[in-house]
Structure 1
Amino acid sequence: MQRYFVNGVISENRFAINGEDFHHINRVMRMTQNDKIICVAPNGKSAECTIVKMTAESIEAEVVQWIESSSELPINMTIVSGLPKGDKLEWIIQKGTELGAHRFIPFTSARSIVKWDEKKAAKKLDRWKKIAKEASEQSHRTIIPEINSPLNLKEILDHSKSYDIKLIAFEEKGKQGEASAFSKAISSMDIGQSLMIVFGPEGGLTTEEVSLLEKNGFVSCGLGPRILRTETAPLYVLAAVSYHFELME
């Protein structure tokens, strides 16, 4: 059953759908009155709905039953990625959303080859948000992850103050055989707590960046004996967190 995040709330049990979602339902899925969809309300609650009215520009859907189960990770995960080349960040956002990340923050690392173009910023950010929305619908999330515009390292440090656990994925730790810091960190967490983890771009983080992060409460950790690409490492971490909190019961 197709899932849509809706902003048009007519009443407690009726939603209005327009814009791109209306186009998708009407033109792509070719749905008609009485077809069923899942609507996710602005408060994160989802419901099985029936299409009860269709006009040339909008659709009204009425709640059949509210869905009580949640597909969200039990901890709040923020992925901080040094700006990578090409469409790698789009891949991280898409797959990271499917794996349960709550927030993505790109940052301008010293070794980021890509330079953030403010003239194209709004268009780029809109694209990232659209990717996150579509991935949330596909993976039956009840929230759409927040996507930040790229920040510098000082801004990252300011944002990190509210997090319970703060980690750095640092490949030098992996080369040295360090294998316990990441495991200890997630094992120490309780449901509902928050985790921020920083990943470098293709060239990795500099020792100066790592040192500054560590001075501000971050813990460096390896992610096993293999060196992972910048677009692979966040997915490894999210999968490990999911296994620990959702499958090890």
Structure 2
Amino acid sequence: MQRYFIPPEQFGEDHVLVAGEDARHITKVMRGKPGDKIIVSDGQGRVVLAELASLEPDSVTAKVLESMPETSEPRVKVDIAQSLPKGDKMETVIQKCTEIGAASFIPFLSERTIVQYDERKEGKRTARWAKIAKEAAEQAHRSRIPEVRQPLKWKGLLELFQGYDLVCLCYEKETGAQLRDIIEPFASSLGREAAGRVLVIVGPEGGFTEEEVSAAEAAGAKSVGLGRRILRTETAGMAALTCILYETGELGGA
């Protein structure tokens, strides 16, 4: 069944209003008709089953039939901090990590970031990333849309660490602690019902400098390896997120 995210203000007591591009998708692509059912979410956890009532090209009204439980969101919230990669790699990171279960995305600039950051153009790019997150959340039948934040500088990212239960810095030169060494005891400490917040930090194509790693560890991060193979910057976050959700019981794990 097709799922759509709409702003909370488009929820009424017994109806929902789907407008704009989503309405055109219902009428033109899905060829919806009165009586068809859709799932609608406000992107913040409220999910309802609704029946199409009236359809216009840019506006669709649907009657709310029942509220649905929020069962698709991981209890452990994992945010992905990604150093801005080249080309459209950030789009891949957002799309795939949203499908897997990321809670939010924090783009950032580090010493070896190759991308030329232009603050004047960043609004358009961030809006596109948010759209990709929305579409991926719909496809994955999630009840919340991951937030895509404005890019931060390295120092600004370090200041966020205190808001997390665990911060993992993915570092290709780490020969000691591997991700599983950190996640297994963390998952055990949570128990089966408790929630938690984890930040996964992924560096740019050239990796982190030793100074950045030292600064992150001093701020409370755990430097971890992701196995014997060197992963691309757009792959590392997906691998780490999948491992964390598995170990915390979200993918059939503990």
TM bracket, shorter-chain basis:
over 0.9
Report the AA paired with residue 73 of structure 2: E
Deviation at 1:177, TM superposition (A): 5.4
Contact 2:161–2:221 (8 Å) recurs in 1: no
* Identical pairs, percent: 42
Which 10-residue stretch deviates more, 189-198 or 116-125?
A: 189-198
Question: Aligned in 2, Cα 1:189/1:201: closer, same or farther, shift over 3 Å?
Answer: farther
- Secondary structure, counterpart of 2:238 in structure 1: helix
Return 5+ residue gaps in structure 1 as ranges: none
Deviations 1:40-79 (A, max 9, x none): 1354121221001123431111122222241111101110
Pairwise CA RMSD? 1.6
Map 1:122-201; keep pairs closer than 5 Å: 122-173=123-174, 176=175, 178-179=177-178, 180-189=181-190, 191-201=194-204
Count of matched residue positions in the alignment of Structure 1 and Structure 2:
247
Give the whole-Å Cα distance in 2 for the aligned partners of 1:231 and 1:150.
Answer: 17
Q: Which residue of 1 aligns with 2:231?
A: 228
The whole-number CA distance in structure 2 between the counterparts of 1:137 and 1:10 is 17
Structure 2 gap segments, 5+ residues each = none
2:177 and 2:220 mapped to 1: Cα distance?
18
Counterpart residue number, 1:239: 242
CA contact (8 A) 1:102 1:146 kept: yes
The range that moved more, 44-53 or 55-64, is 55-64
Map residues 80-119 of structure 1 onto 2, 5 A cutoff.
Answer: 80-119=81-120
From the superposition, tell whether residues 52 and 220 of structure 1 become closer, same or farther in structure 2 (CA, over 3 Å): same
- Once the two structures are TM-superposed, the CA of residue 88 in structure 1 deviates from its matched residue by 0.7
Contact 1:177 1:224 in 2 (8 A): no
What is the deviation of 1:10? Answer: 4.7
Secondary structure of the structure 2 residue equivalent to 1:122:
helix
Structure 2 counterpart of 1:248, one-letter code: G
Question: How far did 1:132 drift?
Answer: 0.1
- Amino acid across the alignment from 1:28: V
Q: What one-letter code is carried by the residue in structure 2 that aligns with 1:212?
A: A
Structure 1 pair 232–123 and aligned structure 2 pair: CA distance change class (3 A) = same
| Counterpart check, 1:47 vs 2:52 | no
- Structure 2 distance, partners of 1:144, 1:214, is 30
